[in-house]
Amino acid sequence: MLFLLFIFLSIFRISSQQFTTNDDDDLTPPPNIITYKTSEVPVLRTDFFTNSLPEIQTTLSAPRLTPEFAPGFPPLTPLWDVPSMLPTLPTPPPFTFPTFPTLPTIPPPTIKPVNITIDPEAIMDVPEIIAHWGYPVETHKVVTPDGYILTLHRIPHGINKTSSTRTKKPVVFLQHGLLCTSSIWLLNLPHQSAGYIFADQGYDVWLGNMRGNTYSKSHLRMNSMDPKFWKFSWEEMARYDLESMVDYVLKSTKQEQLYYIGHSQGALTMFAKMSQDGQFSRKIRKFFAMAPVARMSHVKGLFHDLGEIYDQYNMVYQVFGDGEFLTNNIFTKLMTDILCDQANNNPICENFIFAVSGPNSNQFNNSRIGIYLAHNPAGTSSRNMLHFAQMVKTRRMARFDQGRDLNLKYYGHVIPPEYDLRKINSSIYLFYSDLDWLANSNDVEGYLIPMLPKNSLKKSTKLKDFNHNDFLWGMRARAEIYEKIIDTITLDQRKIKLQDGVQKYFDSLPTSFPSNLSDTLLQTVRNETMEFELD
């Protein structure tokens, strides 16, 4: 991100240099007709104006409104007599404006003309992208307890199936990571992108958007121009946004549980939430954590630098207060699409992505990088970035450090308390990789896996050569992640059906059936189906 800023700054510098001109031209009086060397950018001469000022002024008369346009108003009279107030200057030669048509032959810019072909998905929003590929799409709004209005996108069914309300479809909830939006699940071709794959598998797919990103920038009472709007970090996303979105989805689908798939910060927030709220954990049937960020001790690349500059960043934050960190507006969109149109021979685009996520693993479709960058980074708060910087600096997964006094006031400690992952009670499946610079495998193996209770951690899969974004956009993601998730969900659905069948069978038994027998039997069968583990 810092790198992107740098690009902007350099471009502004270049473009402003083109229009600065030499001031030490000779100061001879201007001729009546000026011709420019075509290689020169014209210099506006202030002496034109001083010399010709009286001439111009005297020829100007106060505008008179015709009566039909200003009925009832007397004609305006000048406030003072212009000519009498001006000193009598020698009459300058009559001024004629230079004939501009001779000018515009500006020397050709040194930048080679490029074919700007904007990929259609780069300038579409999420519902448009989904519709573009022929999938059904819905948009829902959810209000959090603290007033933020979040957008949920939904792909209710696959491309070939029509919606049927008779059978309950498994609900899959996809949650994006830092500086991203729901778009990240949709940016490759349909057979490569998680959103469409799960929809075609027969799942009811919901895509969350955390507060502060392009789709969740409204509030009941505040405007996003208001600095107070931006006073949040991932701590609030965990506390409010997850629960509001999950509750809404369960209510709309009339289900009790859903499958949650979180990438990066989407996993981090779920770990934080589950460690504090056992009631909430029950609503998550299974939690698939992709590139799971928890403790960030071994992070590399740009995020490592973010930890290094923490003190400066904190100072800037203290001075400027809350605000938006980086937004994704039409300007950024066009910039990146133009910059990255020729991604194969433009290292800027690749470097920006890889500086954050890890080295190129060669599973990227380089011709889609422009699309990825057109949708991300997509805005978050400076406070959230500061929270990440704190994590990198302190090597702890803790609540936001508000400074000594406020920490004492809110947490009762000088340093903010850590989230206790040992309290998590859920079914968790990890997907991580040694090539990931953010969710580094040293942190996953050295901290996350040992901390998660054995009952909760069902499986962890270490992938070879996935950088942080390959989990979303890599060419191997479908085979090595999404299809594994589908296998797990399919088995789990069978297990639910079996349990329901067993339950129904015993419910249908005549009441004359010896109750002690049925209880014991039921318990045995229940115990066995419950323990029937997948994988």
Residue 32 one-letter amino acid: N
Q: Considering the complex, state which of residue 222 and residue 509 has its C-beta at the smaller distance from ligand NAG.
A: 509
Q: Considering the complex, state which of residue 368 and residue 375 has its C-beta at the smaller distance from ligand NAG.
A: 368
Give the closest residue to 152 by CA, choosing from 134, 135, 131, 174.
Answer: 174
Output 82-85 pairs: Cβ under 8 A, ≥24 positions apart.
Answer: 82/57, 82/58, 83/54, 83/57, 83/58
Check residue 114 for interaction with ligand NAG (CB under 6 A).
yes
* 30 neighbors 49 (Cβ within 8 angstroms): no
Check residue 236 for interaction with ligand NAG (CB under 6 A).
no
Return the structure tokens found at 189. Answer: 């071709």
Check residue 204 for interaction with ligand NAG (CB under 6 A).
no
Which of residues 12, 497, 514, 535 is near ligand NAG by CB under 6 A?
Answer: 514
Nearest-angstrom CA–CA distance, 189 and 121: 11
Stretch binding ligand NAG (CB under 6 A), from 207-215, 322-330, 360-368, 394-402: 360-368
Which of residues 331, 524, 532, 535 is near ligand NAG by CB under 6 A?
Answer: 524
| C-alpha triplet 449, 259, 372: angle, nearest 5° | 85
Nearest-angstrom CA–CA distance, 315 and 313: 5
DSSP 320: H
Which of residues 18, 38, 425, 442 is near ligand NAG by CB under 6 A?
Answer: 425
Catalytic residues: 264, 436, 468
* 132 neighbors 123 (Cβ within 8 angstroms): no
440 Rama sector, left if φ>0, alpha if ψ -120 to 50, beta otherwise: beta
C-alpha distance across the termini of the chain, in Å:
39
Q: Considering the complex, state which of residue 52 and residue 366 has its C-beta at the smaller distance from ligand NAG.
A: 366
Check residue 62 for interaction with ligand NAG (CB under 6 A).
no
Stretch binding ligand NAG (CB under 6 A), from 60-68, 257-265, 363-371, 499-507: 363-371
Q: Considering the complex, state which of residue 139 and residue 455 has its C-beta at the smaller distance from ligand NAG.
A: 455
Which of residues 15, 160, 162, 508 is near ligand NAG by CB under 6 A?
Answer: 160
* 357 neighbors 437 (Cβ within 8 angstroms): yes
Which of residues 168, 228, 282, 497 is near ligand NAG by CB under 6 A?
Answer: 282
Check residue 351 for interaction with ligand NAG (CB under 6 A).
no
Q: Considering the complex, state which of residue 370 and residue 416 has its C-beta at the smaller distance from ligand NAG.
A: 370
Check residue 57 for interaction with ligand NAG (CB under 6 A).
no
* 401 neighbors 430 (Cβ within 8 angstroms): no
The helix (run of H) or strand (run of E) holding residue 503 is helix 483-508
Which of residues 200, 241, 341, 443 is near ligand NAG by CB under 6 A?
Answer: 200
* Count of positions on this chain that bind ligand NAG (CB under 6 A): 20
Q: Considering the complex, state which of residue 36 and residue 532 has its C-beta at the smaller distance from ligand NAG.
A: 532
Nearest-angstrom CA–CA distance, 503 and 456: 25
Give the closest residue to 54 by CA, choosing from 90, 79, 98.
Answer: 90
Return the structure tokens found at 40. Answer: 């020169």
* 178 neighbors 388 (Cβ within 8 angstroms): yes
Q: Provide, rounded to whole angstroms, the least separation between the CB of residue 47 and ligand NAG.
A: 44
Cis peptide bond upstream of 170, omega within 30: no
Q: Provide, rounded to whole angstroms, the least separation between the CB of residue 452 and ligand NAG.
A: 13
Check residue 89 for interaction with ligand NAG (CB under 6 A).
no
Q: Provide, rounded to whole angstroms, the least separation between the CB of residue 227 and ligand NAG.
A: 39
Phi first, then psi: give them for residue 118, nearest 5 degrees. -85, 120
Stretch binding ligand NAG (CB under 6 A), from 155-163, 256-264, 298-306, 478-486: 155-163
Check residue 362 for interaction with ligand NAG (CB under 6 A).
no
Q: Provide, rounded to whole angstroms, the least separation between the CB of residue 285 and ligand NAG.
A: 9
Binding site for ligand NAG (CB under 6 A): 114-115, 158-160, 189, 200, 278, 282, 365, 367-368, 425, 514, 516-517, 520, 523-524, 527
